[in-house]
Structure 1
């Protein structure tokens, strides 16, 4: 969509995946990441998918002038610096997603942008292995159980 994408996570484990999925930069969430993002001009938009109060509170410092934070994860409480946000013309909003219109928009966007799911297939006799690995998927892939004839 014309933006330079920066992925931020808690460790370096996800860097390869983030870049394979199109991130231009990858930073570990810390004060250093905020400094690096601010050196690039600050973030125009931060989409926070981590259900962690401390993550959102830390990443607020990466937001640039006129920028917005969109929270799409359930966070029970959030402490932000309203003076900084007012002086920098920044905003925070929440976005509930998950209804049928969101799914339709997501599928349409995926089609026109060539976004494809990562699929890991298991044969029916590997069902136990599949269920053992579900915890490792971390919403990065779709797990399909199929019979031997497929």
Structure 2
């Protein structure tokens, strides 16, 4: 019997990339940028820095600083790579706000935190793909899968 992680990972890995309207994409990016500008700490890009534990992440946030990987999320979806960077910063802060770790359960908790602030179902589907499904695929594979949006 497949685990929850495996089931969600397969939805992501085997799913057909979703098509998003330009209007939804623009609205999503606008909301991400609004969230990014409201972050209460400095965000710095890094080619090599990745948090291995939430304790490291939380400690930096409490020092009013956050490292964000330059890894792109949803590369084809975002009109500019900076939006993926901003999304990662906002997502990391949601881990802090929800006191959640990097397990699938922690990613689901972080997803629920941000989804409560995004009004439309289309945006919540984008977030679910980017956070829950992609994280499940990463946990299942042991490495970051190719970026895409999948609506389950």
Asked whether the two chains share a fold, i.e. TM above 0.5, the reply is no
More strand by share: 1
Structure 1 length-normalised TM: 0.24
More helix by share: 2
Whose Rg is larger? 1
Structure 2 length-normalised TM: 0.24
* Structure with more relative contact order (C-alpha pairs < 8 Å, separation 6 or more): 2
